[in-house]
């Protein structure tokens, strides 16, 4: 990993990286890539995928249809601003 590659990566990532930090960044990226290569070399055939390193169970409730629904009027009553049965929100895109 040389400084020219780091410059190109920074440019593609839209990251402003001062020239004096390029050698240090190149060194850090080399160490990261070496660690990734080391992890890829570990044999993982037959190893079950895990969502979490601890054997935790997520208690789930049964998915049941409930008739307890709020009416439109009840829902709209808590709206800061509403018009014609619709929530009014501030414009965020011009």
Cα Rg for the chain, rounded, in angstroms? 27
Q: 54: which DSSP letter?
A: S
Q: What is the pLDDT of residue 6?
A: 94
Average pLDDT score over the chain: 89
State residue 40 phi and psi, 5-degree precision: -70, -25
pLDDT tens column, 58-92: 788 888 877 778 888 888 888 999 898 889 998 88
Q: Which residue has the tokens 């009416």?
A: 71
Q: What is the pLDDT of residue 75?
A: 86
Q: How many helices (H) and strands (E) does the chain have?
A: 3, 2
Neighbours of 3 (CB within 10 A): 14
């Amino acid at each position: 990993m040389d400084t020219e590659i780091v410059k190109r990566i920074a440019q593609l990532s839209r990251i402003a990286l001062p020239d004096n930090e390029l050698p240090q960044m190149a060194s850090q990226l080399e160490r990261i890539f070496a660690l990734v290569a080391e992890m890829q070399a570990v044999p993982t055939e037959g190893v079950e995928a895990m969502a979490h390193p601890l054997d935790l169970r997520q208690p789930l409730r049964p998915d049941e249809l409930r008739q307890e629904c709020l009416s439109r009027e009840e829902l709209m009553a808590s709206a800061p601003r509403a018009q014609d049965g619709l929530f009014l929100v501030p414009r965020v895109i011009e």
